[in-house]
Chains A and B, each alone.
Chain A
Amino acid sequence: MIEHKIIFAGPTGAGKTTAIGQVSERPPVSTDVINSDARYNKATTTVAIDFGEITLDAGEKLRLYGVPGQHRFSFVWDIAARGALGVILIADNSLPEPMKELQFYLDGFASFVKSGAAVVVVNRLETHPSPSQEDYVNMLIARGTPLPVCACDPRKKEDVLTVLDVLLTVC
């Protein structure tokens, strides 16, 4: 059986845990704890990894790893990224400067981003239409790392499956 490891990364509150929870066949392994950081309006936050599994129609098995968004947990990114096929970078368009925020994760997963083994996903585009999907595409071209950009609601299973499909196509 072919197995692939996929990483979900992006800012705190972007929807990484939600996305994995939507598609995982079994209840995901969760390392969410109570959040004490007033900058984020959320009750819990991931501090180690989320882990979910999904088997595709072709028999491929995907192991889905979500990593914490906060910069202080960047050491987890390197550990989780070992042996991964590709990375899904979720941008949160409700942030004041979502594209600027995304740069940190583009740099944090630079080897995947440079080799094209990554997809940029824009969440909350319906409620926060700017920057547009095209703005993201142009920003990625301008920085010399063109990547597919998808609009996605991580609460919708079909959306997340589509993104996984796009990532497997480019990897």
Chain B
Amino acid sequence: MDISGIISYTTGVVIMAGIYAVFSLGLNIHWGYTGLFNIGIAGFFALGAYTSAILTTSAPDPDLFEDFKFGGDLPALLSFLDPGIDLWFFVALLAAGVVCGVVALGIGFITLRLRDDYLAIATLGIAESVRLVFLNEKWLANGSKGLYRIPKFMGDVVSAENYEFLYLVAVLLVLAVVYLAVQQVIKSPWGRVLKAIREDETTAAASGKNVFSFKLQSFVLGAFIMGIGGALYAHSVRFVAPISFDPLLATFIIWAMLMVGGSGNNKGAVLGAFVVWGIWTGTQFLPGFLSDPNFRLFMIGFLIVAVILLRPGGILGEERRVSRAAQEREGAAPSEL
């Protein structure tokens, strides 16, 4: 590979790591700050990506034998607004977030009053159901063929070979905004209540906090961020199909990222995404079984168990500023680890 090939490859890796970092931040709100166990990230990933893809793709082209019935063609729709930057992109990101938030509201409303682990099972079910709907309902998103005419962000500003660099900037900007927003939210009184709930639900409820409502808000917020992540993904690879969202690369690896980086710590969530994705893509050049995708699947599971057992705080550990109890606790980590 020549120099420009290496640069282009690295750019692709960093773009994907940045997108994963957005998911990791969303999951951190769920797990790290509230103790909500979401194992259906893939569902929100797919919903976000598809929402943005459907909204921005132009109407189906009869010459291409496309099966879907509706393409939002948002770029054309919003073309009358021309502030010099593709506004439709941000509208699509927000819409993706809102759709995920609404689904999360429904699922959370049903399960968050009940046992902790019902949410996990329900998110798993949502992820599978979302996949099945996009696979079977060809009229909605072209079935297994997927959507592949997703527009580029600022596509006409740079040449095709330089698009990656531009999109890298866009991803990092969105990541920065999400990171700062999450930091603000977590530092706010609202964020402190979340942590109080995670540490001791009974005490939080006794001090008059509506635990259910706070959990629901946290679940919706995290899902909203995941929706943005999904949309970022859609405009990066510009192809979405049901197979794009298998649990390994759309759920498991994000868990590994958050656990490795340090749940309950936004810097850790971002760091974990870059570290794990770096290792994941780096190891494919290793000789023999080390680059075997099956072995890497095993390692993802092993890593999650190992981190919980040996270093529950991940690389960075939890940011400790909630309560004295949390500060005093050795190796404090989510949910009284």
Do chains A and B stick together as partners? no
Binding site for A on B (CB under 8 A): none
Binding site for B on A (CB under 8 A): none
